């Protein structure tokens, strides 16, 4: 809950997070702290565990060891008398609402207009009155620069516009943390900028954001910190400029050479 989050409580605190799929250990002990209002960028080769870590944060995956706190609350558990208890389905759903997620593929409902896509979760999950939900959905679409496109269907929108609808859809739930998993990787190059601009604007309003991206310029401009992940571990972290321009670790250097 927002009240419980003071400036001193990090928005995200992950400690010793481990996750395996069968015999394959994908996360090998991740420690991460993301301050309130910070933008944390994630970089790393395909298969290094970036998406899995993001999915653990809103419990689309359960973790095998360690703990994750978002806004001071333990993800997936509650503490009572010094012991951990699983959250109920309802408690889990409530917790998940605080975390907005934007994926590489926008996954909009094709048979719903932009406005209906943004209204869907607040209507179904928050069960708020329709007039109020519509007003908030319109405000969310305005935040992503799509006023005037409310009645269009996904097929009538460009990829960049569709991704902006997906961002508005996440914002309509009033999350306290936004996770972006390669949000521009599926877009034609000329459409990348408009999505990054929306994310830049969101960051400037103080939204806490974790962004998996290979957009180095965006990371340098907007990121407060950048972590480089490889083989299920955070290999290096620092300001984006430090890590991108002066990587200390050999694996980071090799990755940056290969992608530049």
- Residue 119 as a binder of ligand ADP (CB under 6 A): the answer is no
Cross-strand bridge partners of residue 226: 41, 238
Q: Cβ of residue 83: shortest distance to ligand ADP, in angstroms?
A: 29
State the minimum distance, in angstroms, from the CB of residue 209 to ligand ADP.
17
Residue 67, helix vs strand vs coil: strand
> Can residue 52 be called a binding residue for Mg ion (CB under 5 A)?
no
- If binding means CB under 6 A, how many residues of this protein chain bind ligand ADP? 10
Site for ligand ADP (CB under 6 A): which residue of 46, 81, 205, 260?
46
Q: Does 247 bind ligand ADP (CB under 6 A)?
A: no
DSSP string, 88-139: PHHHHHHHHHTEEEE-SS----TTS-HHHHHHHHIIIII---HHHHHHHHHH
Structure tokens that stand for 216 in this block: 């180095």
- Decide if residue 51 touches Mg ion (CB under 5 A): yes
- Contacting ligand ADP (CB under 6 A), which of 10, 44, 159, 183? 44
Q: How far is the CB of 98 from ligand ADP (least distance, A)?
A: 22
213 binds Mg ion (CB under 5 A): no
Taking the complex as a whole, the smallest distance from the CB of residue 51 to ligand ADP amounts, in Å, to 3
- Reading the block at residue 125, the tokens are 């999950």
Residue choice 5, 38, 48, 138 for contact with ligand ADP (CB under 6 A): 48
CA pair distance 251, 247, nearest whole angstrom: 9
**Angle CA 56–60–61, to nearest 5:** 55
Contact 99, 70 (CB under 8 A): yes
Backbone angles phi and psi of 154, in degrees to 5 = -50, -40
Among the listed residues 19, 187, 27, 200, the one whose alpha carbon sits nearest the alpha carbon of residue 103: 187
Q: By CB under 5 A, tell whether 48 contacts Mg ion.
A: no
Q: Which of 12, 38, 40, 49 binds ligand ADP (CB under 6 A)?
A: 49
Query: Rounded to the nearest whole angstrom, what is the least distance from the CB of residue 63 to Mg ion in the complex?
Result: 17
Q: Which residue ranges make up the site for ligand ADP (CB under 6 A)? A: 21, 26, 44, 46-52
């Amino acid at each position: 809950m927002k009240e419980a989050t003071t400036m001193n409580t990090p928005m995200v605190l992950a400690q010793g997070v481990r996750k395996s799929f069968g015999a394959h250990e994908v996360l090998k002990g991740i420690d991460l702290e993301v301050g309130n209002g910070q933008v944390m960028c994630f970089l790393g080769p395909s298969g290094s565990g970036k998406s899995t870590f993001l999915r653990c944060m809103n419990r689309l995956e359960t973790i095998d060891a360690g703990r994750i706190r978002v806004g001071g609350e333990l993800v997936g558990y509650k503490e009572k008398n010094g012991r951990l208890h699983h959250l109920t389905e309802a408690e889990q759903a409530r917790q998940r609402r605080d975390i907005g997620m934007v994926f590489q593929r926008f996954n909009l409902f094709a048979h719903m207009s932009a406005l209906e896509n943004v209204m869907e979760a607040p209507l179904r999950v928050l069960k708020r009155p329709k007039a109020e939900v519509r007003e908030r959905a319109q405000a969310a679409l305005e935040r992503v620069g799509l006023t005037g496109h409310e009645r269009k269907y996904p097929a009538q929108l460009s990829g960049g516009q569709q991704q902006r609808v997906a961002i508005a859809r996440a914002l309509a739930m009033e999350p306290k943390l936004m996770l972006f998993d390669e949000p521009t990787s599926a877009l034609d190059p000329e459409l990348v900028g408009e999505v990054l601009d929306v994310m830049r604007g969101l960051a400037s309003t103080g939204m806490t954001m974790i962004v998996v991206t290979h957009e180095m310029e965006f990371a340098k401009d907007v990121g407060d910190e950048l972590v480089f992940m490889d083989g299920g571990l955070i290999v290096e972290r620092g300001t984006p400029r430090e890590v991108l321009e002066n990587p200390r670790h050999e694996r980071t250097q090799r990755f940056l050479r290969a992608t530049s």
